[in-house]
Structure 1
């Protein structure tokens, strides 16, 4: 099964799933602000001490009663944001009670659009995934497996059209530095068209490494937060990031003290690029599907 998955996993141009329980394409605020969140949710496992990696390891394989409560807490948190990148999400297998956690959180947070990126398919045992939740309909969404051992991926989406469009890359990078460099080089090759860019996710390394020593170094990206995000109960390492191109105006940044997973969520509020016109109407108006 795993060998077949490696052969069929390929770059794909995709459409987001539509949540039938809420209205599509809510209007943007007049001031053009966009609230972003990145969160590694550890498939709904509440890890609060190092020894929980051993004593609760069975929860990576089997369902448990507390997972639904943890997902409810996560859903309540996500409801305050416009665009969410999720890592370590299950796409609907035994361990999650056959619940697609991306779809579930889209419903809990009333997001009109969602997409699940399946990176490692273990059938009924586990569906290792990334996810995106959005209140805006992307004008482009691409599913990219990343170089290296199977199991890592990036989602590239575009909001709006033309020169003022916003490119967003959501990713979960490898632990090893050599593989991570290959993955960042792959991403760098695919974001050159964007004047305005956001990179967000669990990048498994510190901001200085990303900005100064990686294939991203020529983009001039800004890391607005350097506060530690891991482990959530006693943060010591800054592994989760939302990186911004210098043309985006930063309004607010926070690492949320919500020890739900073993990572803390990172939140950023930015002001979107505006059309070059006298009326200053935001360029990134959401599309309403028919």
Structure 2
């Protein structure tokens, strides 16, 4: 699953960006209950990519939302990428929640103004490892182009890849950057409308996969917890990839045939 959390702020109309804007700076008692419900939603997944989560500051009631959601969802592994460190006021982050240990995790600062990043997690060993990327791209087209080029350099040597996140652009807009698609064995799934959450009109949240992986299910979830809707998929792994995951972990026995992301 990929989900832009908007730090736990529920938005149901454009005017609420103004009326609820104070929640980006101040704590809100309703946020804790909302996070509890989100945690329950995440229980059914193996890999969860989070964007716009707070790493523990005044506005979140000093709650690290990544740690909290991992606990509520019974996810034993979690990773945080801090992209905008505003001290006690805000800890703007990306996150990855997992049910299996990653062999390696790297944080990448994306090109452009500070505040955008990508997480690269490798699950399993060798050429058949599963590589999962979590990204939150910029709004501007020129900066997006640089960021997509940067991601293409990271992804091109890899075999089994899942890229998910709030890419802030549609598939049609991504296709305007041929280096990203033509140089990669990476395909977008069906474009699902995910923004704005209350009346979805644009497909901005994506799960892209290598041709070595197979999608069994792909859907957008009708959950008004943010200004984006979560997008989820069930992905079938090739046998060699599943074995590589099993060899790296004693958690999944027998080797997993599918993962829910």
Deviations 1:2-58 (A, max 9, x none): xxxxxxxxxxxxxxxxxxxxxxxxxxxxxxxxxxx0000100001111110000000
**Corresponding residue for 2:192?**
227
Structure 2: distance between partners of 1:130 and 1:212: 26
| 5+ residue gaps, structure 2 | 252-261
User: Are residues 1:282 and 2:230 paired?
Assistant: no
User: Are residues 1:182 and 2:146 paired?
Assistant: yes
Structure 2: distance between partners of 1:107 and 1:225: 31
- Equivalent position to 1:100, from 54, 58, 64: 64
Q: Tell me, what secondary structure is at the counterpart of 1:275?
A: helix
Deviations 1:143-183 (A, max 9, x none): 11111110000000111111211111100000001101111
Deviations 1:191-238 (A, max 9, x none): 222111111000000012224535311214222221210000000000
Count of equivalent residues: 249
Larger helix fraction of residues: 2
Write out aligned runs for 1:31-180 (5 A): 37-180=1-144
Structure 2: distance between partners of 1:75 and 1:153: 23
**Corresponding residue for 2:259?**
none
User: Are residues 1:204 and 2:172 paired?
Assistant: no
Q: Tell me, what secondary structure is at the counterpart of 2:245?
A: coil
Q: 1:157–1:169: 8 Å Cα contact kept in structure 2?
A: yes
User: Are residues 1:257 and 2:219 paired?
Assistant: no
Worse overlay, 98-107 or 186-195: 186-195
Structure 2: distance between partners of 1:113 and 1:59: 28
TM-score by length of 2: 0.92
Moved over 6 A (4+): none
**Corresponding residue for 2:203?**
238
1:134, distance to aligned residue in structure 2 (A): 0.3
Q: Tell me, what secondary structure is at the counterpart of 1:264?
A: coil
Q: 1:211–1:221: 8 Å Cα contact kept in structure 2?
A: no
Structure 2: distance between partners of 1:174 and 1:109: 29
**Corresponding residue for 1:12?**
none
Structure 1: distance between partners of 2:240 and 2:228: 37
| 5+ residue gaps, structure 1 | 1-36
Q: 2:126–2:244: 8 Å Cα contact kept in structure 1?
A: no
